[in-house]
Homo-oligomer: A and B are copies of this chain.
Amino acid sequence: MSLRVADIGEKELVKYIIANSKEITADDTAVTQFSSTNLISTCDMLIQSRHFPENMSYFNMGFKAVTVNVSDLAAMGAEPLGFLLAIAIPKDLELESFKEIIDGVLSACDYYSIPLIGGDTNEASEIIISGTALGLCDEPLMMDNYSIGDVVAVTGDIGLAALGFELEDFNNIYVKKALKPLARINEGITLKNSGATSATDITDGLASELYQIKKNSFGFMIYEELLNISDEYKQYCKNLGLNYLDLVFHVGEDFELLFTIPKDKLKNLDIDYRVIGEVTDSDVVELTLENGFVEKIKNKGYEHYVSE
């Protein structure tokens, strides 16, 4: 009985690729030295049945395909350079729907000031969009150059999209975040210029990203009271029979930046942000709950393939 990819999970597959390539940077994007700067490049593929909720418009599908890639540029503090779009669509898709997807892509490119410079069209049984974002950065913000004592912060409230995926009613910030997340490209550039020590974008969940950036001998202490989880949020979760901390930590799709920065650099940091914790020497990833108890944050996030 031979092993299937579902038996080992996406992270192990990625490890196989990295172990066999000499030149892969294990960070949010590739970094390629280029004249006096660096070419920053990344690609991400979105698959209709897996990434686009039922109630997502064609326009927002196109918009998101750009967002997920620009978000990786943001995590490096890169200036956008160009975007390439490879899109496959079913042949019976309505022409108007195709145009709406493209309009979404172009709208996002305009929003992020990243010109659409090329691409490819194809036919498949469902909508598949693979985007490549290119950027430039003299000193890219890697994901793990923090020191003990640095604060841990985020560029916006976490967990909103996760709740949005559970709700039906359109008219609330949670569903809006779920259907049209935004990449923090300007914030990333400002962080890079303001002495931030590391950054990554939150896609698979805050817990998953904390473990992704964790180094040996380092740990993180996050404080629930700093996460700004509203009473409304907790009530929605209670009504749905869901654990609100689970949604905040273990689902993702936030696209906010998780970053570290020395305390003394905070006063000159000119973006919206929220400090949620600090870098420690505990070698564990922990949460101090509102009631004062401390628990280990589980390394659980969204992962493809893993069998239930």
Interface residues of chain A, those whose CB is within 8 Å of chain B, are 2-8, 10, 13-14, 16-17, 20-25, 29-30, 32, 34-35, 39, 41-45, 47, 49-50, 81-82, 84-96, 98-99, 102-103, 106, 109, 115-126, 128, 130, 132, 134, 304-305, 307
Known: A21-B106, A117-B30. A47 touches B122 (CB 8 A): yes
Q: Chain B residue with minimal CB distance to A117?
A: B30
Question: Which chain B residues lie closer than 8 Å to A10 at the CB level?
Answer: 121, 123
Q: For chain A, what secondary structure do more than half of its interface residues adopt (helix, strand, loop), or is it mixed?
A: mixed
Complexed CA–CA distance, A90 and B45 (Å): 14
Whether the Cβ atoms of B17 and A119 lie closer than 8 Å is: yes
Question: Which chain B residues lie closer than 8 Å to A82 at the CB level?
Answer: 23, 30, 32, 39, 41
Question: Which chain B residues lie closer than 8 Å to A6 at the CB level?
Answer: 91-92
Known: A43-B84, A122-B47. A21 touches B115 (CB 8 A): yes
Question: Which chain B residues lie closer than 8 Å to A121 at the CB level?
Answer: 10, 13-14, 17, 304
Question: Which chain B residues lie closer than 8 Å to A118 at the CB level?
Answer: 24-25, 29-30, 41-43
Known: A91-B305, A118-B43, A125-B125. A102 touches B24 (CB 8 A): no
Q: How far is the CB of A58 from chain B (nearest CB, A)?
A: 12
Q: Chain B residue with minimal CB distance to A22?
A: B115
Known: A2-B95, A45-B88, A123-B304. 18 other contacts (CB 8 A): A5-B91, A5-B92, A5-B94, A5-B98, A16-B98, A16-B99, A17-B121, A20-B103, A23-B117, A24-B116, A32-B81, A32-B134, A34-B34, A42-B84, A47-B122, A91-B304, A125-B126, A128-B128
Known: A99-B16, A304-B123, A305-B91. A130 touches B23 (CB 8 A): no
Complexed CA–CA distance, A20 and B7 (Å): 44
Complexed CA–CA distance, A41 and B124 (Å): 23
Whether the Cβ atoms of A96 and B43 lie closer than 8 Å is: no
Q: How far is the CB of A1 from chain B (nearest CB, A)?
A: 10
Complexed CA–CA distance, A3 and B305 (Å): 36
Q: Which of B5, B20, B128 contacts A45 (CB 8 A)?
A: B128
Complexed CA–CA distance, A118 and B94 (Å): 34
Q: How far is the CB of A92 from chain B (nearest CB, A)?
A: 5
Q: How far is the CB of A209 from chain B (nearest CB, A)?
A: 16
Residue among A2, A81, A95 facing the most chain B CB atoms (10 A cut-off) = A95
Whether the Cβ atoms of B21 and A116 lie closer than 8 Å is: yes
Whether the Cβ atoms of A102 and B30 lie closer than 8 Å is: no
Complexed CA–CA distance, A30 and B84 (Å): 9
Question: Which chain B residues lie closer than 8 Å to A29 at the CB level?
Answer: 118
Known: A98-B5, A122-B304, A304-B121. A128 touches B88 (CB 8 A): yes
Question: Which chain B residues lie closer than 8 Å to A24 at the CB level?
Answer: 116-119
Known: A130-B130, A304-B91. A117 touches B41 (CB 8 A): yes
